[in-house]
Structure 1
Amino acid sequence: MTCTSTQQIAYAKVNFSLEVGQAQDDGMHLICSKMATIALSDELELTRLDDHSLSIYSILWHEDAPLTSEIDWPLKSDLTVRAHLELEKAVGRKLPVQMKLLKRIPVGGGLAGGSADAAAMLRAVVAMFDLDVELAPIASKLGSDVPFLITGGTANVAGMGEQVTPLAFETVHLLLIIPSYSCSTAEVFKAFDGLGEPQKTDNGNDLMQAAFTVEHRLAIDFEAMMELTGLTIHLSGSGSTMFAICDNAEQAKKLAERIQKETTLVAIATHTCAP
């Protein structure tokens, strides 16, 4: 059954672990990661247009976004728009929609905001047009995080992101620490290739040293957050967002308030979620 309008929540993710293999002949890397979706999210609003209309796309920051930056990329390169275009290509016809994307997930923070939005677009359009189409191949074309984010929850993700093994969900309280600067995924992987064999770290992310190489401020803030919180600090994806696992929601909330008060970093208390 088709619908004329719908809303999808696009949940961010964190990497509890991230192992990265050496570059293959095509320059791509195989990964093995434990990922989980978290409560921080974007909102995707779609309205179906008549069959002869052109699709309309808009991207805005939500009024309660923890950290904003300039939305300065071309719409046609946005992953959400690309997801829509790939879906049209897969079914061989136009699927006209009006899209309004309200963002909360910081850009370039390793939280897979763009991938979450792309996954939300795929889910929404399939439901809106009652399409019989396999989403996994389309998701894999869009990025290594998108296949996992189609369903979210907690999973082991391997290969190029296409191998998703769901795990039992458990609520984990998190302190999320968001710098004002971002890390380019491409630059971090380039630095990773230049480092040779990955250096294993206590925080379980093979990209950490590469991210520090690309963005020296991250290394400084990382050490400062370990000292301030007394917790193990983790890096999500290729950065720049850091996080710590907390005992409960109250601990996460108090630490976030302290970081906001004593530093220039943005910090929020959040938790894992199963959409």
Structure 2
Amino acid sequence: MALIVKKSPAKINLMLRIVGQRDNGYHELQSCFEILPWGDEMTFKTLSATQASVNISGFDEIASEDNLIYHAAELLKPYAQKICAIDIHVDKQIPSGAGLGGGSSNAATTLLTLNNIWQCHLDENTLLEMALRLGADVPFFVTGQSALVTGIGEHIEPMRFYRGYVLLLFPSVSIGTKDVFQHPELNRQQTPLSTPYLTDTDFWINDCFPVVLQAYPEVSKIFSVLSSDMLLRLSGTGSTLFALFNNKSEALKQQKIATAYCRTKLIEI
């Protein structure tokens, strides 16, 4: 038996533009993904067994067969050269439906870790193809670094967009990606940015933000109370609001104010 502990990081979308929609319904995106030095902790315990199987714990409301971790393992099973069962426990820190990529990150961490434990010997390109089958954000987490992500998540260009302090605000609501993308008032014809503008914070918009403010009063309330003190943005299609600061003391000041209304987390990136 062996224990392997991995960090499964969160992300924020500094920008999320929906620049089109394909005939199959998938949305074409242009997004600035910034990976965070914070997230879930995943523990992989190898067991003696005659088959490659996984047991998942740490989730109260998700059946194992509905978990992206399970689906990631299922994709790898046919390639396993070293057969053993795995217990996977997730210490969840990233809220569900928060727009921080928790489930996608868990899936990517599973692909990378089980590829080694089961000695699948799959290269990164093959893992990226598998990742895209699991979800649009999963390939980004396989690469493990901040990047410009386009297409339906398959085009990943590593780059850094911001250094400073990120204040995360967690409204008490979980938002499903599908619900946001199916909203009739979602802008699906945004203009993509050319490269020189990608790091210009004035152009960091999220096309999902107006829809979320309209449909989810828990998010709208916190935004209306705190947006006069700091510039609030939305991460992905979830409920997490965030603000960026160059000054730590100002970030701490705003965090103290925001804590009266919701759970918060301050991170330096």
* TM-score grouping bracket, smaller chain normalisation: 0.7 to 0.9
Is residue 234 from structure 1 mapped to residue 233 from structure 2 by the alignment? yes
Give how far 1:89 is off: 3.8
Q: How does 1:95-244 map to 2 (within 5 A)?
A: 96-133=85-122, 134-168=126-160, 171-191=163-183, 193-195=184-186, 203-227=204-228, 230-244=229-243
Q: After superposition, what is the alpha-carbon deviation per residue over 1:61-102, rounded to whole angstroms, capped at 9, x for unaligned?
A: xxxxxxxxxx21211111112111111145599652111111
Separation in structure 2 between the aligned mates of residue 255 and residue 97 of structure 1, nearest angstrom: 43
Separation in structure 2 between the aligned mates of residue 224 and residue 45 of structure 1, nearest angstrom: 39
Separation in structure 1 between the aligned mates of residue 244 and residue 117 of structure 2, nearest angstrom: 37
Separation in structure 2 between the aligned mates of residue 94 and residue 76 of structure 1, nearest angstrom: 20
Give how far 1:170 is off: 5.4
Letter of the 2:244 counterpart = I
Give how far 1:202 is off: 6.4
Is residue 43 from structure 1 mapped to residue 41 from structure 2 by the alignment? yes
Note if contact 2:3-2:46 (Cα within 8 Å) is conserved in structure 1: yes
Is residue 271 from structure 1 mapped to residue 268 from structure 2 by the alignment? yes
Q: Which residue is equivalent to 2:248?
A: 249
Letter of the 2:268 counterpart = H
Change (3 A) 1:156 1:76: same
Give how far 1:39 is off: 2.4
Letter of the 1:75 counterpart = S
Note if contact 1:33-1:157 (Cα within 8 Å) is conserved in structure 2: yes
Q: Which moved more, 1:84-93 or 1:98-107?
A: 84-93
Give the TM-score of the pair, scaled to structure 1. Answer: 0.84
Note if contact 2:19-2:190 (Cα within 8 Å) is conserved in structure 1: no
Q: Which residue is equivalent to 1:63?
A: none
Q: Which moved more, 1:34-43 or 1:162-171?
A: 162-171
Change (3 A) 1:250 1:124: farther
Separation in structure 1 between the aligned mates of residue 113 and residue 128 of structure 2, nearest angstrom: 15
Unaligned runs of 5+ in 1: 61-70
2:15 to 2, 14, 17: 17
Q: After superposition, what is the alpha-carbon deviation per residue over 1:125-158, rounded to whole angstroms, capped at 9, x for unaligned?
A: 1222333112111111111111111132211001
Count of residues paired in the alignment? 255
Note if contact 1:253-1:268 (Cα within 8 Å) is conserved in structure 2: no
Unaligned runs of 5+ in 2: 192-201
Letter of the 2:250 counterpart = Q
Q: Which moved more, 1:77-86 or 1:213-222?
A: 213-222
